[in-house]
Structure 1
């Protein structure tokens, strides 16, 4: 039987894969697992937030019922970004937090993400405990032991104040377009930027429950690029549905991806003495250009598997302060326990303001090498690491590319395919090598 929890919680089509019954069961099991050891006479508390998907309404009701029925007091936060729920889990001293969102996925999807005490993502082992607890018979709370449910009217205000205060400077004079993806950032991102002093043009800020991520946000940057040019803005910021990501567009229309944002922030923090152990944590998919630029700046780069949970694990283990992914998941551990798109956008604009340089100029901190990715389907991905033919082909390609390129062969974690990624100094060379290796994957693993 497949594991219920994926790389970022439980996700599926709401009402079909992710039903109210399943959501209630997950919540009740999480309550039992995450409140073990609660002192006698102490009532455990959980905070619950969601993005504006229509399905979030019935899933929120199910989760709240599961928690309260298990004896947990519930604070409903309403529509807020995932990082806001993580922050408020820690700030309120809650035992855990629950976020209902499918991030950048289309509106029919939804998901359940759970944060432990302190607003940290749960380890795999704890998620497995929750899944196991779902199969156990357990009597619900009764009488005075039933959890109580209240709404928090000040959650958004507390979160906005937190991210703005973390900046420690003003953004006066900057004109910014922010694309909220018709998602959880719609109510808080424009307000946070305005309080920091920026002139703000908000787009994708009218969620109706069905238009989340639809032609907008971090997965559709053409919309933001057009708006930046139309309004003569200094920069544009794009979030995804739950606002744990941030990508950017410079005034000239060029895209500033997560690698470039990480490079800019790493150098800013290094100069300010805030880059812990002078180290940046990235995934194996980060562009070689970022790693070369960081090496030149004297910054150590630690690589992890793909997934922000692995970035976070490495950051906690090494006591590092900055890490993230090319996709725009950026973790500023001095201010957040998870990727935070609003926080990232504010600190990126802070660098623009401090330096007095255009975002496009700052992005030149690294030269992004051409990167070609080919997904090879219909092959036995389990044999990707044991094929002598593929190993030999990869070795030959790496020798051919030398220090100006690299090869990554990675079985997909969620689909029956193998990903072939090649970087090289020239795009045509990267394409040729990638296609050659994809052919080897098909012949060796088909």
Structure 2
């Protein structure tokens, strides 16, 4: 079996459809358990967290059965943010951590993300080895060595305490009215608790999950309601998380939304001024706006680009020894504090900047004028490869020539959905639309 189950962020798909079935989840748990028990010793453990999707119960049970069948002891955290799993994997000395979540996707999707014992997401190589085990017979543990399962009731409180310690000593959020939109997801209790305990006047949204409403009309991918509420309720700032709380969008007091690029620009500027930005480098993906790159260049800083996926951002950060990175979509990675993208952590750091400077959100978060960027998605049938068509490649080459010296073109397959993403940047709006529409038409015709 090839490395086909795992995408840019674990395994993901529609619940109860391949590959996200209970049967596959059980085998994934067993394969991962066998992979992490290669030395044959006892006392191996795994921590499992989830978001608020209805299907999370099914996958939690299936994974538990798979892991315990190979002798792994399982610690169940319940609903917690994805970064909490990375944190608790290391603090509980576990061999592996698992987050059951499809992040920003609708409720009918779900996914399985893996963290290694160091709290970082598994490499492509490790995922390929686990998938290879799925293709054969997975050796179960002897009856006397079957693992145990135990529910951990205070996992989110351990994570809460870690987030609060990242606020500079002596700094409080008193006087700040903060709207927090939790997307009816994994941080629906955690985020309001943390902000209130740090002194903020908290206006909660998206804190009533029912198994079906995660990311629905709320959260970092649908900020309209939160932006309107920030203005209507006179909030100083809004923080919008996604379903598993590893992404964030910031809304200023006027209701304007700032994406991950603007947040990273602020953090890079502040960290560089305090001599805390290692190497003067910010790591971001090929999707980040050209305006961010120009902003950094103007301050003697450098943008290091990676493929799309916060895992690839983190891998580059670790290789280079850099400590700030992220994605335009709102993954913000600060390895001084965490091993993966953490929306709540980034939100708290933004509030710290407001409290320390006394400046309004609008003055802090809109650091550069973005180069006009247009992204269109084309859905295709799994197994079809429209980008390999000679006609599509010819159209793409012509589009690149048209943009030469004026902008850039990026075309890629999504790692989480059957989509071809066509993105271009150009300050000539007419040329931008023409280039994207031409490529989209060619891909659509091939499909």
TM-score surpassing 0.5? yes
Could you tell me which residue of structure 2 aligns to residue 394 of structure 1?
400
SS of aligned partner of 1:350: helix
Matches within 5 A, 1:2-81: 3-17=4-18, 18-37=20-39, 40=41, 42-81=42-81
Contact 1:106 1:213 in 2 (8 A): yes
Contact 1:34 1:116 in 2 (8 A): no
Could you tell me which residue of structure 2 aligns to residue 412 of structure 1?
413
Could you tell me which residue of structure 2 aligns to residue 344 of structure 1?
346
SS of aligned partner of 2:113: strand
Q: Deviations over 1:364-420 (max 9, x none)?
A: 321112112244677830257994664354123223x2xxxx121313245776543
Contact 2:386 2:392 in 1 (8 A): no
Q: Deviations over 1:148-177 (max 9, x none)?
A: 111112211110000110122322211100
Separation of aligned partners in 2, 1:372 and 1:27:
40
Separation of aligned partners in 2, 1:376 and 1:329:
23
Separation of aligned partners in 2, 1:75 and 1:437:
48
**CA apart distance, 1:143:** 3.9
SS of aligned partner of 2:166: helix
Contact 2:395 2:439 in 1 (8 A): no
SS of aligned partner of 1:219: coil
Q: Which of 385, 388, 399 is matched with 1:382 structurally?
A: 388
Could you tell me which residue of structure 2 aligns to residue 251 of structure 1?
253
Contact 1:82 1:242 in 2 (8 A): yes
Separation of aligned partners in 1, 2:94 and 2:390:
43
Contact 2:48 2:77 in 1 (8 A): yes
SS of aligned partner of 1:237: strand
Separation of aligned partners in 2, 1:385 and 1:5:
29
**How many residues are treated as equivalent by the alignment?**
438
Going from structure 1 to structure 2, the CA distance change for 1:377 and 1:73 (only over 3 Å counts) comes to: closer
Q: Deviations over 1:48-103 (max 9, x none)?
A: 11111111112111111111111111111111011101110011111111111111
Could you tell me which residue of structure 2 aligns to residue 223 of structure 1?
225
Could you tell me which residue of structure 1 aligns to residue 105 of structure 2?
105
Going from structure 1 to structure 2, the CA distance change for 1:78 and 1:356 (only over 3 Å counts) comes to: same
Where do 5+ consecutive residues of structure 2 fail to align? none
SS of aligned partner of 2:6: coil
SS of aligned partner of 2:140: coil
Contact 1:382 1:411 in 2 (8 A): no
Matches within 5 A, 1:83-94: 83-94=83-94
**CA apart distance, 1:441:** 6.8
Going from structure 1 to structure 2, the CA distance change for 1:75 and 1:279 (only over 3 Å counts) comes to: same
Matches within 5 A, 1:7-406: 7-17=8-18, 18-37=20-39, 40=41, 42-168=42-168, 169-375=171-377, 380-383=386-389, 387=393, 390-399=396-405, 401=406, 406=407
**CA apart distance, 1:360:** 1.2
Deviation larger for 412-421 or 353-362: 412-421
Contact 1:106 1:214 in 2 (8 A): yes
Going from structure 1 to structure 2, the CA distance change for 1:432 and 1:389 (only over 3 Å counts) comes to: closer
Deviation larger for 267-276 or 251-260: 267-276
Contact 2:230 2:253 in 1 (8 A): yes
Separation of aligned partners in 2, 1:384 and 1:225:
44
Deviation larger for 259-268 or 431-440: 431-440
SS of aligned partner of 2:97: strand
Separation of aligned partners in 2, 1:165 and 1:199:
19
Contact 1:282 1:301 in 2 (8 A): yes
Separation of aligned partners in 2, 1:330 and 1:69:
36
Going from structure 1 to structure 2, the CA distance change for 1:393 and 1:425 (only over 3 Å counts) comes to: closer
Separation of aligned partners in 2, 1:384 and 1:326:
31
Separation of aligned partners in 2, 1:156 and 1:417:
34
SS of aligned partner of 1:121: coil
Separation of aligned partners in 2, 1:134 and 1:439:
39
Where do 5+ consecutive residues of structure 1 fail to align? none
Separation of aligned partners in 2, 1:380 and 1:388:
12
SS of aligned partner of 1:372: strand
